[in-house]
Amino acid sequence: MALIFPKESLSAFPKHLTPAYRSTVKRSPSKPLIIVPHTLSELTGPVYGHDAMQEGDNDLTKQHNGEPLGERIIVHGHIYDEDKRPVPDTLVEIWQANACGRYVHNVDQHPAPLDPNFTGAGRTITDKNGYYRFITVKPGAYPWGNHPNAWRPNHIHFSVFGHSFLSRLVTQMYFPGDPLFPFDPIFNSVTDEKARQRMVSSFDLENTIPDWALCFRFDIVLRGREATPQDADKH
């Protein structure tokens, strides 16, 4: 499968410099990026196997002696390429705040409790259908210092690999109907409404497990599609 990675596919990505998110001001390139062709170095990328995992990595509620506090949820979905073909056997990593909105990280000084039964990191590998599944708790919202009374919407961080180093994606999964959406400069750094909605999971009643856990579906589409004859004509 020889995929191509058109740059136009990135058109809905945030701009590097997005001043409403203050930390971008000193951390965004100021000079134009240099356009270069995709060589073997870009068209290849890391491949991980199921041996990179251990049992329990995809169940964040079973990583300690007791169960974490909070609302238990299932987060699942498929990883696709731009042709909507599943991306099998690819590494998916997540990390998140606990139910109170606190991260297990020394830098996080939000005065909300840590949960001794929750780290908040998980990983898995998609199956042959590009499917992944995590069990976790719903992360809380938390304040941050970007502007007065700034709060991040509930979110889970995702890191996904895909077919090449060009398809590498780090993103955040949000929850449907979050009242903080209009006020969050990170979410709104994606200026296209439809593209923003692609970062919002959907409530999945069908896969919700009665008397046990709500379910949210989050499908991810990565860069990469099959070349068409028209693409070949451009060369």
Partner 1 sequence: MSDITPSQTVGPYFAYGLAPHSRCNWQPNSHYDSKETVGADLVTPDATGQKIRIEGRVLDGDGLPINDAMIEIWQADGQGRYAHPRDNRARPNTKFKGFGRSATDKNGAYSFDTVKPGSVPGPGGKPQAPHIVFCIYSRGMLRQVYTRLYFSDEAANAADPILALVPTDRHGTLIAHKEMRGDLAVYTFDIRVQGENETVFFDI
- Among 25, 129, 143, 212, contact with partner 1 (rule: CB under 8 A): 25
Give catalytic status of residue 223 as yes or no: no
Residue with tokens 């409530």: 203
Shortest distance in whole angstroms from residue 210 CB to partner 1: 28
CB of 119 to partner 1, least distance (A): 4
Taking CB under 8 A as the rule, does residue 123 contact partner 1?
yes
Residue 103 annotated to the active site: yes
Q: Which phi and psi (to 5°) does residue 200 adopt?
A: -105, 125
Q: Does 147 bind partner 1 (CB under 8 A)?
A: no
Residue of the chain from 164, 175, 201, 216 that contacts partner 1 (CB under 8 A): 164
Window 200 to 229, contacts with partner 1 (CB under 8 A):
220-223
Cβ 57 to partner 1 shortest distance, Å: 6
Would you call 215 helix, strand, or coil by DSSP? strand
Please enumerate, as own/partner, the contacts of 182-185 that have beta carbons within 8 Å and a separation of 24 or more.
Answer: 183/150, 183/151, 184/150, 184/151, 184/152, 184/153, 185/18, 185/20, 185/21, 185/146, 185/147
Q: Does 75 bind partner 1 (CB under 8 A)?
A: no
Catalytic residue of the set 21, 103, 132, 174: 103
Choice from 151, 178, 183, 198 touching partner 1 (CB under 8 A) = 198
- By CB under 8 A, is residue 178 in contact with partner 1? no
Question: Are 111 and 69 within 8 A, CB to CB?
Answer: no
**What does the CA dihedral 78, 136, 200, 27 come to, rounded to 10 degrees?**
-100
Contact 134, 72 (CB under 8 A): no
Nearer to partner 1, 82 or 127 (CB): 82
CB-based contacts of 111, cutoff 8 Å, min separation 6: none
Q: What angle do CA 66, 136, 111 make, to 5 degrees?
A: 75
> Per CB under 8 A, does 38 bind partner 1?
yes
**Which one of 13-21, 68-76, 127-135, 206-214 is the stretch in contact with partner 1 (CB under 8 A)?**
13-21
The verdict on 170 binding partner 1 (CB under 8 A) reads: yes
CB of 137 to partner 1, least distance (A): 14
Question: Residues with catalytic annotation?
Answer: 103, 142, 152, 155, 157
